[in-house]
Amino acid sequence: MKGYNCAQSVTAAFADLYGLTEEQALLASASFGGGMGRMRLTCGTVTGMFLLAGLESGTTNPDDRELKARNYAMVRELAERFKAENGSIVCSELLQMGNKTESAMPSERTAAYYKKRPCPELVRCAARIYAQMLEEKKSV
Bridge-partner residues for 90, per DSSP? Answer: 42
Indicate the number of domains in the chain.
1
Report if residue 13 sits inside a domain. Answer: yes
Domain that holds residue 13: 6-99+106-138
- Residue 42: phi and psi, rounded to 5, are -65, 130
Give yes or no for residue 112 having a pLDDT over 80.
no
Report if residue 51 sits inside a domain. Answer: yes
Report if residue 1 sits inside a domain. Answer: no
The alpha carbon of 53 is separated from its chain's Cα centroid by a whole number of angstroms, namely: 10
pLDDT digits (tens, 9 = 90+) for 48-103: 999 999 999 999 999 999 999 999 999 999 999 999 999 999 999 999 987 777 78
The contacts of residue 16 (CB under 8 Å, 6+ apart) are none
Q: Left, alpha or beta for 117 (phi > 0: left; psi -120 to 50: alpha)?
A: beta
